[in-house]
Amino acid sequence: MKKALEVEILGQKLTISSDAEEGHMRRVAGYVDGKMQELMRASKSVAKTNVAMLAALNIADEYHRLKDTHEAILSRLDQLSKKLSTTLTEEG
């Protein structure tokens, strides 16, 4: 069941709704706020809409890098699992 939660991002209060736990929703909102705050500190003259887009791009970049790393780890685990299975079958 979806729950509504009020969070604050860049000083603006927003109501978000999700099936996730409140702690998770707050962590996600805090992460987005932190990324946007970081960009605001780095570029004082950037409009909030541009900050939001830049933060979204940075977060998407992090996500895809982590996803690629995750897929590489899963692939390596699959290779090692097959190798182990083959070794155990041969020793049988």
pLDDT in tens, the chain (92 residues): 899 999 999 999 999 999 999 999 999 999 999 999 999 999 878 888 899 999 999 999 999 999 999 999 999 999 999 999 999 998 86
CA dist., res. 51 & res. 46, Å (int): 6
Nearest to 38 by CA among 21, 23, 53, 55: 55
Predicted local distance difference test score (pLDDT) of residue 45: 81
Q: Are 35 and 22 in contact (CB under 8 A)?
A: no
The pTM of the whole model exceeds 0.75:
yes
pLDDT of residue 80: 98
Structure tokens belonging to residue 55: 């933060």
How many whole angstroms separate alpha carbon 92 and alpha carbon 17? 54
- Distance between CA atoms of residues 50 and 92, nearest Å: 62
